[in-house]
Chains A and B, each alone.
Chain A
Amino acid sequence: MVKRRHVLLPRAWALSSVLSAALVGVALAQAASDAIPAVTPAAVTTVPALRADLDHDASAVALRDAFLGGSLDWNDVVERARTEGVVRWYHWGGSEELNTWIDAVVVPALAVEGIRVASVRLPATRDAVDVVLAEAAAGRGLGRGSVDLIWINGDNFRTLAQADLLFGPFADRVPNAAWYALDPADPAAAINLFDLGTPTLLRSIPWFAGQYVCYVDTARLPLERAPRNHADLAELARERPGRFTYVRPPDYIGTAFVQQAVVALYADAVAGAAVGAAPTLDAFLNDAAGLAADDVARLLEPGFAYLRTLEPFLLGGSGTEGVRGAPVYPPSAAAWERLVASGEIDLACEDNVFHAQSAVERGRLPESVRTIVFPEGAMRVNKSFLAIPANAPNPAAALVLADHLSSFESHVSKLELIGYPIALDLPRLTSEQRAVALAASPELRGIDYDDLAEHAAPDMHASWVPLIDRLWERWIAGESPLAFGDLVANLLAAP
């Protein structure tokens, strides 16, 4: 369900490169903490063999071997891409802006190179993964599948990595690789080499920098009353029942809201010593599979208990403590935003710091909307990537498109026209380029880059995502009568 996104703290452009490195470092320092295993340089550079159980196209294999082996000139890749003629890019398609930008900017640019970009819009990134898995199950290998490039991150990337269905390593071999720190020895490279805890092994290249931010309609909720943490939010919901809700997981944005609550509430529980012999917060940065069911339950329970007590005060809830009512959970971020626009709720969130500005410019939100800091110290940051499946039908064209989308010009155009943050490593930009990027950046509408940097936090390990989604479905939506610990144990025991 990736729909998107990535980290970038654009204010850094106005600062010196030293300072900007420090800013990005906030996320890096946490992401690269000892909770995450180091990637060995060997693992990054080794070219793994293609899966032997698949039927591969000989000329595609020849291209792959020559390219990954370093014996192919980029011009030859472009030449081969022209013969392939088309590239099928699968991406979350729920944004009119993104669809328009691809259609108006990317398609013509690649057409000049003689490559047709067929962009396939998905309701959820998971669908692209399903296609790749199904085709691999049918034995279709390199040159014989139907997906060339996917905008991906998190558990979707992890699924393809586990199935050994990723093309690469390519991220360091395309011309625009120069924009990224990719040397495993460089601590600044961690954010480009890990995708929610899964080592990318250079089989994906950053494309979107996400940071989870929330916005309020100040015409109804004055800024000074905007929540700054989850306790504030609960209090506000009780004071103004029915004026808040969140998106239902497994939608990307909905899962993100639940993840934030889980981390924040567990942090509070640990701080208040409410949890004895507790795992540390770092547990969320590691594979959940390494934990006992007890510990998983202990880690998740405070957040889920919080969400349950919040239910009566959500949109459609009863408004009375302990009586659920019929809480309404919108199915998507777009629906969440429309609830704010139609005056039903006061606050919603997105994974893009420029979202509020874009939505106001497009007429979707009122001018009175402002971005806020929420939750303090825990506004999670991550990157999402472009990856090529190991059975891509047009691998050369996929490489050319991935490279094109990684250019400075493409990132700036995306930033300027549709407010999608730049995913390039800021220290690698020249001061002129930083000025250009800053000028292209939309307004933040209420907060500043210092706030974003100060409150940035790393994202959870991808293995938690399916677990949280299923627990939410059973425990919150399904009103499971089981004790939380038993429910977790059941889920972990199921195949």
Chain B
Amino acid sequence: MARAWRWGWAMVATLPFVALVVASLAFRWTWPDLLPTQWWWEARQTARLPIGWDYVASTASRALPALLTSVAIATAVTALGLAVAWPAARVLAHERFRGRQAVELVLLAPLVVPELAVALGLAVSAVQLGVAGTWWGVVAAHVVPTLPYLVRTLAAVEQGFDRDVADAARVHGADAWAVFWYLRLPLLAPGVAAAALFAFLLSAHLVVLTVLVGQGRVETTAVQLFARLGGGAALDPVSAALALLLTLPGVLLLVLLDGVLRRRVDLRGAVPRT
């Protein structure tokens, strides 16, 4: 029974994507046809301009630059996020100090403040600061929702690190560098890698912050898709293709963490914002 229930959910979670694949490969797919009456590969030879996946692949769609922008921004957000969140997570994991609760509250605050409220506020300030429409403005904005998640996960990872082991190593003459290289890194790497990958995913998925701070000049794949949706009617092939492109990073991540790292994906910090 539990097995049927969990497999039922697994189907609900994955089967809908089949229709997305069909939609991306459709040329003419109108009511009431369950499958396209004409497919992309049948029509592409005679089309005067690129259609469907050909359009996505062409320079006209700017899908590739957007994908690269997504990756570049997400990488920068992850690097910046790790650089500031890791030291804080270490402190929160190992130190007791006055004001700790207040610090935790501040670091987690972005979880309850709606992304839209932050984005509207930043859109205005970014113009005054001259970072509106720039990559750096967007990167800084993306760090806000990423931070609570990174701090939470990294603190959990740090808590799992037994400091007595490090002390023992020091007693036996290991210097700080050796402790980091031979102890902390190998022990913490899987956890930190998982946190980093999720920060990457979170950034690549952000729409509202990117639109409002990037002012349309910073175009990521998520923003491209957002601009094409709405209206409740059927999905056009190019939007379907973009949605599939945007699904890729998450699926790669699942395969990477679940298969290669042989580690159950720990999504406990993954806010539904992703």
Interface residues of A (CB under 8 A from B): 96-97, 99-104, 122-123, 127, 134, 328, 330-332, 334-336, 338-339, 341-344, 361-366, 417-418
Contact = CB atoms under 8 A, between A and B. Distances in A.
Interface string B36-48: 0010000100011
Nearest to B237: A363
Contact of A103 (B58, B227, B236): B58
A343 B31 CA distance: 5
A361 B26 CA distance: 14
A342 B60 contact: no
B31 A341 contact: yes
B230 A331 contact: yes
Contacts of A96: 55, 60-61, 238
A334 B229 CA distance: 10
A102 to B, nearest CB: 8
Contacts of A341: 30-31, 233-234
A138 to B, nearest CB: 10
B51 interface: yes
A365 B49 contact: no
Contact of B60 (A104, A134, A331, A338): A104
Contacts of A332: 230-231
A102 B174 CA distance: 64
18 contacts: A97-B49, A100-B49, A100-B50, A103-B59, A328-B232, A330-B233, A332-B231, A338-B234, A338-B236, A339-B231, A339-B233, A342-B234, A343-B31, A343-B32, A344-B31, A362-B47, A364-B236, A417-B49
Contacts of B60: 96, 99-100, 102-104
A338 B231 contact: yes
B49 A101 contact: yes
B229 to A, nearest CB: 9
B50 A330 contact: no
B30 A335 contact: no
A122 B216 contact: yes
Interface string B217-237: 000000000010011111011
Contacts of B184: none
B86 interface: no
B90 interface: no
A342 B55 CA distance: 22
Contacts of A417: 48-49
Interface residues of B, number: 30
B28 A363 contact: yes
Contact of B231 (A102, A331, A363): A331
A292 to B, nearest CB: 38
Contacts of A97: 49
Contact of B30 (A99, A103, A331, A365): A365
Contacts of A338: 231, 233-234, 236
Ranked 7 nearest A-B pairs via Cβ: A335-B231, A343-B31, A338-B233, A103-B60, A342-B234, A363-B27, A100-B60
B27 A334 contact: no
A362 B32 contact: no
A25 B215 CA distance: 43
Interface of B: 26-32, 38, 43, 47-51, 55, 58-61, 127, 216, 227, 230-234, 236-238
Contacts of A127: 216
Nearest to B36: A363
Given A100-B60, A362-B51, A363-B28, A342 B216 contact: no
A1 B216 CA distance: 16
B38 A363 contact: yes
A324 B164 CA distance: 70
A123 B234 contact: no
Contacts of B236: 334, 338, 364
B61 A342 contact: no
Given A100-B55, A100-B58, A100-B60, A343 B30 contact: yes
Of A99, A100, A344, A363, most buried by chain B (CB within 10 Å of CB) is A363
Contacts of A418: 49
Nearest to B235: A338
A103 B63 CA distance: 13
Max chain B CB contacts within 10 Å: which of A122, A330, A335, A339? A335
A337 B193 CA distance: 46
Contacts of A103: 58-60
Q: Pick from A96, A103, A122, A336 the residue with the most CB of B within 10 Å.
A: A96
Given A96-B238, A341-B31, A334 B49 contact: no
B30 A342 contact: yes
A178 B87 CA distance: 69
A336 to B, nearest CB: 8
A332 B58 CA distance: 24
A371 B227 CA distance: 28
A361 B48 CA distance: 9
A342 B36 CA distance: 12
Nearest to A345: B233
Residue of B48, B127, B227 with most chain A CB atoms under a 10 A cut-off: B48
Given A335-B230, A335-B232, 18 more contacts: A96-B55, A97-B49, A100-B50, A103-B60, A123-B216, A127-B216, A328-B232, A330-B231, A332-B231, A334-B231, A335-B233, A342-B31, A344-B31, A363-B26, A363-B43, A363-B237, A417-B48, A418-B49
A369 B27 CA distance: 16
A338 B237 CA distance: 12
Contacts of B237: 363
B224 to A, nearest CB: 10
Nearest to A416: B48
A417 B216 CA distance: 28
B211 to A, nearest CB: 10
Contacts of A364: 236
A339 B237 CA distance: 15
A123 B217 CA distance: 12
Contacts of A362: 47, 51
A254 to B, nearest CB: 12
A104 B38 CA distance: 26
